[in-house]
Amino acid sequence: MLAMNYRGPKRVRIDQKPMPEILHPEDAIVRVLRSCICGSDLHLYNGNVPDTRVGTTFGHEFVGEIVEVGSEVTKVKVGDNVLVPFNISCGKCVFCKQELYGNCHEANPEATAVGAIYGYSHTAGGYHGGQAEYVRVPYANVGPTIIPPGMDLDDAVLLTDVVPTGYQAAEMAGIQKGDTVMIFGAGPIGIMAAKCSWLFGAGRVIVIDKEEYRLEFVRNYAQCEAYNFEEIGDMAVFAKKTTDSLGADVCIDAVGAEAAGNAMQTITGRKLLLQAGSATALHWAINCVKKGGIVSIVGVYGPTDNLVPIGNVLNKGLTIRANQASVKRLLPRLIEHVQNGVLNPKALITHRLPLEEVAEGYRMFSNKLDNCIKPVLIPPSAKI
């Protein structure tokens, strides 16, 4: 089968690989119909995630058709079209029982601080991802969710990560009616977080980024304010002035390790790897939120340390909430929102590429070429 093949930092290609096999009675094999390149894939692509081994296939956002199931699989069957949450979760451990499906204790042997994620290095369990024609899906009784009849595959594939992560960013922010929400990052997650903040009753939504085309998109898509940080001298002063000196009620970091905007963070976090990525967005979030406010983090960072003003977290009495999205928990509500037209995920997709052009897709997304917001890969075997 064809599959993306990681060869080193900023080097990927398409190769023939062996078909995945059932390795566990709860496994299923899925024929991929759509897979996305995610902003967090860029951390892998740039070589910033430890234990990213050459030969791995990335891709944690995919939908497809079940083509084979293990002996203990009862919830899905061959022929079902499913969307597959990016987290791999057993459904039995104490964390899954609390609906912390992103923190399963029975899926990732290599690290305890992160759950298992498809195609996201051996630090996240060592699973191949869905940027391929076929993929092994463990715990098929738990994760895969049958795509409702009539749902567009482009909507479905964004329900595997982008929509739940953006929604959960707003949810964790504990937004109260009338709150001012400040979101750092106008990538797909930041855009979706802006859109979802309204569902929780936000009174004002402000998005910060530096890419004009993304700012323009989010203004229209999420009906919010959007500002270019390259036109802002001091982010905290801007936030204070526009909130009558008090600060935003909640701030959301929807950027993570690849943030721009601060030379010291960029050099130490992205160039020299002296910290686990550039923490500019988180730094701004802490300094822009009000006293007693909430900072919600969905931007992805590496496993070591970051330079953030933790003293201000103490002195301002902040609450920080963060987690990988618990996709399975959120899917029923989010499917409803998509079906009712409250959310329109597929509008984020700007590029549809054949899987064979995966290297160009990564380059385009990474360098923000051709106004790229969300690229989707379509394998030749999708036959659509």
Partner 1 sequence: MEDKRPLEDTIPFENNRGPADHSHIKGWGIDADPKNDPTYPMKKRTNGEHEGYTWERPTQQPVNMEVLYSIERPNMTAVFGTAAPLRGLSGAIRRMAYKRSENEYSHWLPLILADRVDVVEGVIDDFKHGKIPNIFAEKGYVADWHHNKSGLLARVAILAGITAAVVMLARSNSRD
Binding to partner 1 in span 192-231, by CB under 8 A: 196, 198-205, 223, 227, 231
Interface characters, 73-92, with partner 1 (x: CB under 8 A): ---------------x-x-x
Q: Do 356 and 14 contact (CB within 8 A), yes or no?
A: yes
Question: What does the DSSP 8-state code read for residue 148?
Answer: P
Q: Do 178 and 363 contact (CB within 8 A), yes or no?
A: no
CB proximity list for 271: less than 8 A, separation 6 or greater: none
Please give the full DSSP string across 179-224, using - where no structure is assigned.
-EEEEE--SHHHHHHHHHHHHTT-SEEEEEES-HHHHHHHHHHS--
Pick the stretch among 146-154, 168-176, 211-219, 261-269 that binds partner 1 (CB under 8 A).
168-176
292 touches partner 1 (CB under 8 A) = no
Binding residue for partner 1 (CB under 8 A) from 32, 157, 162, 172?
172
- By CB under 8 A, the residues from 19 to 38 that bind partner 1 are 23-27
Residue whose C-alpha is closest to residue 368's, from 383, 350, 341: 350
Determine the Cα–Cα distance for residues 325 and 330; give it in Å rounded to an integer.
9
Q: Which two tokens stand for residue 323?
A: 């987690």
Pick the stretch among 61-69, 260-268, 308-316, 361-369 that binds partner 1 (CB under 8 A).
361-369
Residue 203: helix, strand or coil by DSSP?
coil
Cβ nearer to partner 1, comparing 122 with 219: 122
- By CB under 8 A, the residues from 337 to 356 that bind partner 1 are 337, 340-343
Cβ nearer to partner 1, comparing 34 with 195: 195
Q: Is 146 exposed, middle or buried (0-12, 13-18, 19+ CB in 10 A)?
A: middle
Measured in degrees and rounded to the nearest 5, phi and psi for residue 61 equal -120, 105
Binding residue for partner 1 (CB under 8 A) from 66, 83, 147, 175?
175
- Beta-bridge partner residues of 297: 253, 322
Binding residue for partner 1 (CB under 8 A) from 16, 79, 113, 271?
113
- By CB under 8 A, the residues from 255 to 284 that bind partner 1 are 273
For partner 1 (CB under 8 A), the number of binding residues is 106
112 touches partner 1 (CB under 8 A) = yes
Residue 280: helix, strand or coil by DSSP?
helix
Binding residue for partner 1 (CB under 8 A) from 32, 42, 355, 364?
364
149 touches partner 1 (CB under 8 A) = no
